[in-house]
Amino acid sequence: MNEEKQSMSFDPAVKLTSRRSGPAYWFVFADERLLVREGNPSVQVPLMENLALLGLEPIRQQVLGTLDQHPCYSAELPPETTPPAGFSFQGLRRLFGLLDEELFSIAVRAKQIVSWDQTHQYCGRCGTKTRGMDDERAKVCPACGFTSFPRIAPAVIVAVTRGDELLLARAQRFPKGFYSVLAGFVEAGETLEECVRREIREEVGVDVENIRYFGSQSWPFPHSLMIAFTAEYAGGELRPDSSEIADAGWFGPDRLPWVPEKISIARSLIDWFVESRDQ
Ligand SMILES: [Zn+2]
C-alpha cells in the first residue's frame, strides 16, 4: 500500500483519450455522501469496471481523469440509495485521514463536479437543456450559447497576529468554546487584499497590515476555495459584530481554546502561529 502511495499521480481530464478497460475508481455520491468500502482502520474508494457490479445505477456520471492509469469517474445516485453490503455512504469531513490523501483530494473535486452537473442541467439564461462540452469542464446551451463552468466561491481566511498573540473568534453558529481564525467570502469587484481588510474590520473592528499569502485549499462545502493569509494588527479596538461573532480575543500560543481539526487550512494557520512563536 505504501509503495503504491509513492507513485500515485492524478491526471485530470474531461474525457478519456483511449478506450480503457480494467478497473476504474468510482467516486459515487448519494445525498452529498461518498460511497466507500468499509475497512479497518482505513476505508476504500471502489475500484471496479462498473457500478453495475455493485447493483448500482447512477443518475449521471462524469469523467474525472486518471489515477495511475486507472480511469476515475464521479457519479450521482438517487439520495435514498441503500449501500451495497460492506459499503457505506460517508460525509467527506469524516473521511479525512481515513482515505488515502490523493483519493481524498479527488473526492473533494468529485463532490463539486457532481453538484455542478446536478444543478446546471438547464440553461440559467433561457431554460433549455444544456449539454456538456467535449474538451472542457463546461456546459453550453444549444439554444442561446450561454456557457457555464463549475462554480467556485473564493473566500479569504486570515491569521491576524499582534506580537505573540493570535486573533481568534467564535462565530454565532460555532459550538460553545470553539474558536477559529476569521474568514469571509470575496465580494464581486473586490481584490483579495481588500476583502481581508473589509472582513476583519466588519467582523471585529480592527485594521490590519502586512497581508501575506499563506496557502489555499479547495473546500467542497459546498464549493469554496479558501485563500489563506497572515496579517498583522495595525490598530483599532476589538469590537465583535454581534450578528455574526459571539466573541473574539487575542490568544497566546500556550493558551489556545478549542480550535478546528487538521482537515482545514484554518488549523494550518493556527499551527503556523504556534510554531512561529514557539522558538
Ligand atoms: Zn440558453
Q: Report the percentage of the chain scoring pLDDT > 90.
A: 85
Question: Does 41 score more than 80 pLDDT?
Answer: no
Q: What is the pTM of this model?
A: 0.86
Distance 269 CA to ligand 1 centre (A): 43
Distance 261 CA to ligand 1 centre (A): 43
Distance 141 CA to ligand 1 centre (A): 5
Distance 138 CA to ligand 1 centre (A): 14
Question: Does 4 score more than 70 pLDDT?
Answer: no
Distance 236 CA to ligand 1 centre (A): 49
Mean pLDDT computed over every residue of the chain? 93
What beta strand segments (E) does the chain contain? 10-12, 24-30, 33-37, 47-48, 60-67, 70-76, 87-90, 131-132, 139-140, 147-148, 153-162, 165-171, 182-185, 207-219, 224-235, 245-251
The three cell numbers locating residue 96: 479525512
Question: Does 7 score more than 70 pLDDT?
Answer: no
Distance 114 CA to ligand 1 centre (A): 21
Distance 120 CA to ligand 1 centre (A): 11
Rounded to an integer, the average pLDDT of 30-53 is 93
Strand partners, 217: 226
Distance 11 CA to ligand 1 centre (A): 31
Burial of 235 (0-12, 13-18, 19+ CB in 10 A): exposed
